[in-house]
Structure 1
Amino acid sequence: MRRRMFSFRLIYIYSYNLFQFCGHTWILANTIARFFTFGRDALADTFYSVSFVMSLCQLLSILELFHIADGIEKARLLPRFIHVMEKNLLLIMVIMLEEIQSKPVVCLQFFLWNILDLLRYPHELLCVMDTPSITMLWIRYTLWIPLYILSVATEGLIIHQALPYIEPTTPNSTHIHHPFILMVCLPVLALGASVTVWQLLRERQYHLERYNKKMKRK
């Protein structure tokens, strides 16, 4: 029974990572193909062409928090929680504000998100198959960090560009103004990103040292 359960968990996590890898590969390929076909004009409607698949992949990424909590995936919960939630909340904001969906910065954000995920999911697939690669390990925990910082900066730019399109509540209302909420999100985003980068650096050191010890034993 335990063996059967282990096999089911293994098949599930492999299928999940494979689905995410294929989904983000499709989004990236679609984005690049449209850019080479239509040039700068493709930036305006990139969101409309990939938003469904992107939304599906981001919604399913919430499952990763349960993977870590359940022990299916070996990773730190806090940085993954921050990363998943900031992406989903920003995506919801873009979906709600049609005025910013055609802005080039949204296309750039989707491009960075997909690059980050395509650096991560192949490594996860190799780990599931118990065939880790030092190259993929280094890319996952070294190249991923500066790209993540750039992605967070782009997220902040999207929030800043969204401010003019957020209607404030009336002056007599007791509710907090919506633009003020977005302005508060900027320092929170910076703080969350700082915590995530710090945790990722610790995770990088741990995994690289663990791999080196494993190779020395062999």
Structure 2
Amino acid sequence: MRCLFYPDKRRVLRECKPSFRLAYIFLYNLFQFCGHTWVLANTIARFLTFGHDALADTFYSVGFVMSLCQLLSILELFHIADGIEKARLLPRFVQVMEKNIMLIMIIMLEEIQSKPVVCAQFFLWNIMDIIRYPHELLCVMDRPSITMLWIRYTLWIPLYILSVANEGVTIYQALPYVERRAPKSSPLNSTVSTHINLPFVLMVYLPFLTLGASVTVWLLLKERHHHLEKWKKKMKRI
């Protein structure tokens, strides 16, 4: 609040602006952490209460909050582009887009919403985000932790690989339902097709998903090496 004592208004704005940006990114990470914690806690509590039967209506119980958190994650691309968050844009772009594409497919296909693979997908997503956002909060508060740093850049990578593999299984299980919904071509429009062949699009998307995940893992490994080496140098100086 010391910026209120400066007489020059332009200087006041310059001094206060970083505080507003800091408060915004702190509240964003806190909201995401609370949202994903609620989804994970709700999912686990329902499974412990109802057993295997709880898997069928997991999406109906936590789908809205999960969708809201994933939709807001698009803001992270603007955070990185604007310099509020220091991270690589490409791997974050791949992660955000693949999650939102998968979520849109799940929302559109009610037949797969009750599949156990969807519950597994939500579980992996929330575990990953519960690992990531506390680390981001500590960085915002300028109180980094080597334990959270190691978990963020070590445990997170195999969880991401499992998540991508589960996404591939989800798409594979969704293909029969997509084929049923795809409009049938008639002799009148056999020359020029007026619809998009969604099953074919999903089949083509799978190699791109694998390629994008491979590049993301490679970049995450480089980022892990960079941050751990930076921490070691910092400890040596101390």
For 1:136, the equivalent position in structure 2 comes to 148
Q: Take 1:7 and 1:37, find their aligned partners in 2: how far apart are those partners?
A: 44
Tell me the CA shift for residue 147 of structure 1: 0.5
- Mapped pair 1:112 → 2:127: no
Q: For this pair of structures, how many residues does the alignment match?
A: 218
Report the residue type matching 1:148 in the other structure: Y
From 11, 29, 40, the equivalent of 1:28 is 40
Q: Take 1:21 and 1:205, find their aligned partners in 2: how far apart are those partners?
A: 25
- Mapped pair 1:170 → 2:190: no
Deviations 1:59-104 (A, max 9, x none): 0000000000000001000000000000001000000000000000
Q: Take 2:51 and 2:105, find their aligned partners in 1: how far apart are those partners?
A: 26
| Correspondence 1:77-156 to 2 at 5 A | 77-156=89-168
Tell me the CA shift for residue 55 of structure 1: 0.5
Report the residue type matching 2:60 in the other structure: Y
For 1:40, the equivalent position in structure 2 comes to 52
SS, match of residue 131 in structure 1: coil
For 2:8, the equivalent position in structure 1 comes to none
Tell me the CA shift for residue 176 of structure 1: 3.9
Tell me the CA shift for residue 177 of structure 1: 1.5
Deviations 1:107-166 (A, max 9, x none): 000000000000100000000000000000000000000000000000000000000001
From 201, 205, 214, the equivalent of 2:234 is 214
TM-score, normalisation: structure 1: 0.98
Tell me the CA shift for residue 199 of structure 1: 0.6
- Mapped pair 1:59 → 2:71: yes
Q: Take 1:212 and 1:2, find their aligned partners in 2: how far apart are those partners?
A: 34
For 1:204, the equivalent position in structure 2 comes to 224
Report the residue type matching 1:201 in the other structure: L
SS, match of residue 75 in structure 1: coil
TM-score, normalisation: structure 2: 0.90
> Which structure is larger by alpha-carbon Rg, 1 or 2?
2
Q: Take 2:198 and 2:121, find their aligned partners in 1: how far apart are those partners?
A: 23
* Identity of matched residues, %: 78
Gap regions ≥5 residues in structure 1: none
For the aligned residues, what is the CA RMSD?
Answer: 0.8
Q: Take 1:13 and 1:195, find their aligned partners in 2: how far apart are those partners?
A: 27
On the 8 A contact 1:169/1:176 being kept in 2, the answer is: no
- Mapped pair 1:2 → 2:22: no
* More deviation, 171-180/42-51: 171-180
Q: Take 2:235 and 2:163, find their aligned partners in 1: how far apart are those partners?
A: 33
Deviations 1:3-37 (A, max 9, x none): 20000000000000000000000000000000000
On the 8 A contact 1:169/1:178 being kept in 2, the answer is: no
For 2:4, the equivalent position in structure 1 comes to none
Gap regions ≥5 residues in structure 2: 1-12
